[in-house]
Amino acid sequence: MKRREYADPELVSGYPGVGMTEEDRRKIDESTVELSELMTRPDLLLYATGQALSATVTRFFATLEELTDEETALRVAYQMGAKHGAANYGAFLANRGLRGGPKAFAEYQDYGHAQRGPRHVGACFAEYDETSVLVKRRDCVYFWGTRGEPNKFIEALERGMYTEGYPSVDPLWSHTENAHCLCKGSTKGCEHRFVFKKESDGG
């Protein structure tokens, strides 16, 4: 398998927040950072924004479950994933004049991982070949909770993306193999293999 031509490891090592210390993270997570430091350090801001996204998504579904029931909250999470996947990957393909398939999807994954802060950028860069894309990550900005404990809402959200959202806009899409995932209770991270039909197989 190979990576896209732009896949320079220095883009990841030099990314804002990748070199943050544990104390930096704790100051954001515990809301003890000084305002003057927060407002002058893009790395802290980017991490804080990612944490806000992460917490908000899971708290939204947990609140929905409290006010309705588990089935409703999971259905909303799945549907949101489906819509999010179709809208974002659909726009990425259409606006760049791409049809789909492993090479395009590898770049879409890198693009998504690169724009959501230091927890997500570690998934760069995806590997791909003629019929698949492999994404490995030790951390995921959508995962909120304790590592080793499943997050059923994020599991449903992600499942919506790759079983309904992405396939609806990529004619070469086949299926996804999800070896392990933080949201399923893995402690080590996520490994997703996205499988595609060969160009000549139709689609």
Q: Quick one: 33 or 108, whose CB is closer to Zn ion?
A: 108
Q: Quick one: 86 or 109, whose CB is closer to Zn ion?
A: 109
Cα–Cα dist 160/1, whole Å:
26
Closest approach, Cβ 179 to Zn ion, in A, equals 10
Question: What percent of the residues of the chain are helix, what percent strand, and what percent coil, each to the nearest 5?
Answer: 55, 10, 35
Q: Quick one: 27 or 128, whose CB is closer to Zn ion?
A: 128
Q: Quick one: 44 or 182, whose CB is closer to Zn ion?
A: 182
Residue 91 buriedness (CB in 10 A; 0-12 / 13-18 / 19+): exposed
Closest approach, Cβ 184 to Zn ion, in A, equals 7
Buried b (16+ CB within 10 A) or exposed e, 118-145: bbbbbbbbbbbeebbbbbbbeebbbbbb
Q: Quick one: 44 or 121, whose CB is closer to Zn ion?
A: 121
Closest approach, Cβ 183 to Zn ion, in A, equals 5
Q: Hey, how many other C-beta atoms are within 10 angstroms of the C-beta on 44?
A: 20
Cα–Cα dist 143/130, whole Å:
30
Closest approach, Cβ 67 to Zn ion, in A, equals 27
Q: Quick one: 171 or 189, whose CB is closer to Zn ion?
A: 189
Closest approach, Cβ 133 to Zn ion, in A, equals 14
Which residue of this chain has its Cβ atom nearest to Zn ion in the complex? 190
- Assigned token pair, 85: 């996947």
Closest approach, Cβ 39 to Zn ion, in A, equals 32
Contact residues for Zn ion (CB under 5 A)? 181, 190
Find the length of the chain: 203
- Assigned token pair, 160: 């919506």
